[in-house]
Structure 1
């Protein structure tokens, strides 16, 4: 007598729980569709535009952050080095090359969730286009490690995986249709500390 209503209730519970879980997973797994990948770096140029997909809009609403519009700039994130290995807070890296044209850029390290690292006082946790030392040809080399380094250095010491965030401000790159031809900085692992 109660078999049919029990099966209907079980089916509805599974459907609602599965739908809620899959939507939650999708919102934490990606910032939406339409990502561009340039080596280790990825960006979502349409994230703040009216043409953003529904997942990107929901992610943006739930994130609570003010994002750059397409005309304002572009945020690239790297979660792996040139070999495809995940970036670890227990390793040292070198970022070298040049950035796409922009009026100003910043480079910082973030935890897996996107938050800045908790760093000790008086250590550099980011660099920008005004403070970075460059070679004669305009390229740069930035070391990221727990130990201080000569030249351009960003402090990096975290127990888990990290990501590198490169923000280009006021760049023609954001409106370009040929972003796949841009030169992005290369990320090379120098070494890792023993756990």
Structure 2
């Protein structure tokens, strides 16, 4: 009887540890792999046949359809250039030259993937509407107050993440010869 209880206890502990580790990996992702450019992180293989089971489970859990190699690449940033978590209480200026892509989109989300409340209904900035000055990099301002130029409103409290999608780009594919530069994320005033 004692041996049976010991076996059941061992199996229970093993199942709890295995399920806990799987849940943690699906929730947070694997700590290695992917493409990192400054604060931006992407996984080029997530939309293809090479995606691992944890990535597939995480995508299914979020209800997300990833971009495949031919479609583009999705980058996510949860910190600024200094490594500080992005906060809805602060202003941010994103500047930089984007790599060759047919289109880019930039949107702010809550950490769980939901869109944040936005009374103006402006949830994203795109290269199709970006104002560019000759010989100057693109610039997007994220703030609670309206700003001149390309402005993306923030609202609410707490942390947030940025998602930058590059459509029809060679970045992250075997064809890319070097790591490009993406938007730098500079923190401004905080309230």
Alignment of 1:1-195 (within 5 A): 2-30=1-29, 34-120=33-119, 122-178=120-176, 180-193=178-191
Instruction: Output the CA distance in 2 between the equivalents of 1:176 and 1:138.
Output: 29
Structure 2 gap ranges (5+): none
Change in Cα spacing, 1:8 to 1:162, as seen in structure 2 (3 Å) is same
The 10-residue stretch of structure 1 (45-54 or 29-38) with the greater mean CA deviation from structure 2 = 29-38
Structure 1 gap ranges (5+): none
Report the secondary structure of 1:175's partner residue: coil
1:52-108 deviation digits (Å, cap 9, x = unpaired): 223222223333222211111100111110101111111110001121110011000
Backbone CA RMSD of aligned residues:
1.8
Change in Cα spacing, 1:179 to 1:153, as seen in structure 2 (3 Å) is farther
Contact 1:87 / 1:161 at 8 angstroms: preserved in 2? yes
Which runs of structure 1 show a deviation greater than 6 angstroms over 4 or more consecutive aligned residues?
Answer: none
Instruction: Output the CA distance in 1 between the equivalents of 2:115 and 2:153.
Output: 12
1:17-59 deviation digits (Å, cap 9, x = unpaired): 1111110110010178531100010100000111222322222
Change in Cα spacing, 1:51 to 1:21, as seen in structure 2 (3 Å) is same
Alpha-carbon distance, 1:112 to partner: 0.4
Instruction: Output the CA distance in 1 between the equivalents of 2:118 and 2:67.
Output: 25
* Alignment length (residue pairs): 191
Alpha-carbon distance, 1:172 to partner: 2.2
